[in-house]
Amino acid sequence: MKVYFDNAATTAIAPEVLEVMMPYLTEHFGNPSTQYSFGRETKAALEEARKTIAELINAQPGEIIFTSGGTEANNTAIKGAVKYLGVQRIITTPIEHHCVEYSVDYCRDELNIETEQVQIDDKGNIDLQDLENLLKSSDKKTLVTLMHANNEIGTLLDIEKVGALCHQYNALFHSDTVQTFAHFPFDVQRMHLDFMSASAHKFHGPKGVGFLYMRKQHKVNPFIHGGGQERGSRAGTENVYGIVGMAAAAKLAYKNLEHDKTAILEVKNYFIQRLKDTFQDIDFNGNLDERSLYTVLNVSFPPSDKSALLLFMLDMEGVCCSGGSACGSGASVGSHVIKALHKDENRVSIRFSFSKNSTKAEVDYVLIQLKKIYDN
């Protein structure tokens, strides 16, 4: 049996999405920057996709910039805010995705920007009072960059409360929503978001495409120079079939949101209970209540002489899961997120992440393999 429990790394493309994409890989191949009929066809599809994404988050189409994914979107927002919007200080946490962490480090080291880290508890929840104290402590123009849900432990940010604080203290607010767009409803107006980032392959869309929402009063220069695509915000011929696929995947996800959420939560809660019933000393990283991303479960296993090989042994039995973020080109290093939570270094943490395709039968199979590994 093969079990894919690493949907926070990437998801299988939905058949309905692939069907929508195929014409743009075959007969509708025109460059959307050209003026003749082939180009006008693909330009119309591009703008329809932009409109779809904008409507889903209560934004205007002109506020959506198509990118190659979440990493590019996050880099553009953070570095762009510093270089072109007058940001002098960044507030973040020690458990952001590396593309945010390293972008902030770049701004500190290369652009002489002041950086602050808001306090977090042992489950990755931010201290809202500490955030407010940091916002009050300086008159410097500030960017707050906090992910909506942690990709490793699933801890959710109270995005509306953070947005309200940023609005109150005139700070710009950027959120990496790569793990949550198409899994939760979004309203960028109510959430006071200035920037949000998303990536299609996290919600059964194609790889290599995402978007950045940037509030209309903000204007940053492109990092990639060339043509004037994306209204001058990003040079390069747009990935039309990918963008069309992303919009189709987002529409499908929001159409089935409550149904899929209920089904995934049922699998996740079943897994939690089976783990508790099977292992005496099991623990979990992050929240397990409504403040947790319903697609992610980070399990802390008891110390064992098998710990170092646990992921490998599960893989040998056909179980795909992760020891942390899967965005490091296969690098096997300790998780900066788990380290920041000050967890017992003798325990091994594994992230299991689910999709609408996950089943209880797969959970049962994983438990059989885990028990076999620990009992031998």
Which residues are catalytically annotated? 327
Label residue 58 left, alpha or beta by phi (over 0 means left) and psi (-120 to 50 means alpha): left
Residue 203: name the closest of 272, 256, 266 by CA: 256
Asked if residues 250 and 52 have their Cβ atoms less than 8 Å apart, the reply is yes
Nearest Cα neighbor of 350 from 302, 306, 300, 307 is 300
Which residues are bridge partners to 176 per DSSP?
197
Longest CA pairwise span in the chain (Å): 68
CA atoms within 13 A on the CB side of 162: 25
Angle at CA of residue 321, ends 316 and 327, nearest 5°: 120
> Strand, helix or coil at 374?
helix
Amino acid at 354: F
Cα separation, 254 vs 183, in Å, equals 7
> By the 8 A CB rule, do 100 and 176 touch?
yes
Residue 345: strand, helix, or coil: coil
